[in-house]
Each structure stands twice: as C-alpha cells, then as structure tokens.
Amino acid sequence: MTLRLLMAAGAVGLISSPALASDIMFSKVNVTAELTAIQDPQAAEFWTSLEDDLESTLLALLSDQLVDDGARLVVDITEFKTGDASVPFSVEEAALGGRVHVIDPGNQGNFESYGLKLRIEGMTTTLDGTQIAVSQVQPQEAYDRLVAAYAESIVDRLD
C-alpha cells in the first residue's frame, strides 16, 4: 500500500505543527541510515545529513514528550531514493522508507515495530498560504518536506 495519501494529508505545516498528544515518553531518538545498503548511491551523495535531519525533526515534534528515563524511538532507514541515473533529483522517484521501532523496557505494551515508506510524488504543501505541488519547489525544499512528512507520520502513529 502506498502512503501517498498520508503524505498529502499531513504535508501542510509539518514543521510548525506541535507534537501530537501521546502517553509515551521518550528518552532517546535514534535514526540510522545505512547509506551503503541503500540502492541509490546518488541519494547518499545528494544528502549526507539524512540521519541528523530526520532525528532533529523527530526531536522537535516530540519535544514535550522527552524525559530522562523513557522509551526509545529507533528508526532504521533502508530506502532513500532521489532519482535515477540521469537526474540527481526526481519528484517521481523520490522516496524514503524504513522500519520504526518503539522500545519501552518499562512498559512492554508500548512496543511497536512497523515499516513506513513515503513517496514525494503527488505531495502538496503551502507557500505563503497557497497550495502548491512539491514538484514546483527546489530539490532541497522537496527533501525537507519528505523528511518532515516522514517524521510527522511516525509521530501520528504514536497516538
């Protein structure tokens, strides 16, 4: 199942939206991206800061749920695609996917593990209040929206 609908629904105002309510408190957020295992070498060269960017976005969204002794949110990125051999960035090809794990030694009922993949194709956003297609923005902005939408999708699932 493609999660394009999820992206389209959650893409507006991602960075500025407050963290969603959840009873799970987190002490650690860890994002790993084995860029050597990802089948798109251009993506690894195009954005080398994927781990830090996604982790920072998640921490911002979960800022009111951070404590010293809580659950761990672990995200293992296994797919990061930005284009094909002829184009370093393609809206039709750009995708981010991986496994998300919530590990809470204090409450095993909070344990969750699932795959999440988002494609940027068809995603919309706003610019000065006007809705635009992501294909109309520059590659850096499209990358930022993809990372933000991925983080927002993770936080949405915590409810």
Residue ranges of domains in the chain, CATH in brackets: 4-157 (3.40.50)
Residue 118 pLDDT: 87
Mean pLDDT across 84-91:
64
pLDDT range class, residue 119, cuts 50, 70, 90: confident
Q: Which of 11-15, 60-64, 66-70 has the lowest mean pLDDT?
A: 11-15
Q: Which DSSP state fits 2?
A: -
Predicted confidence band of residue 144 (pLDDT cuts 50, 70, 90) = confident
Q: Is the pLDDT reported for residue 62 higher than 70?
A: yes
Q: Packing angle between helix 50-61 and helix 139-157, nearest 10 degrees?
A: 50
List, in sequence order, the alpha helices (H) in 16-130: 41-46, 50-61
What would the mean pLDDT of 133-145 be, rounded to a whole number? Answer: 70
Question: Among 144, 158, 139, 153, which residue's Cα sits nearest to residue 2?
Answer: 153
Query: Strands of 71-81's sheet, edge to edge?
Result: 26-33, 71-81, 95-103, 112-119
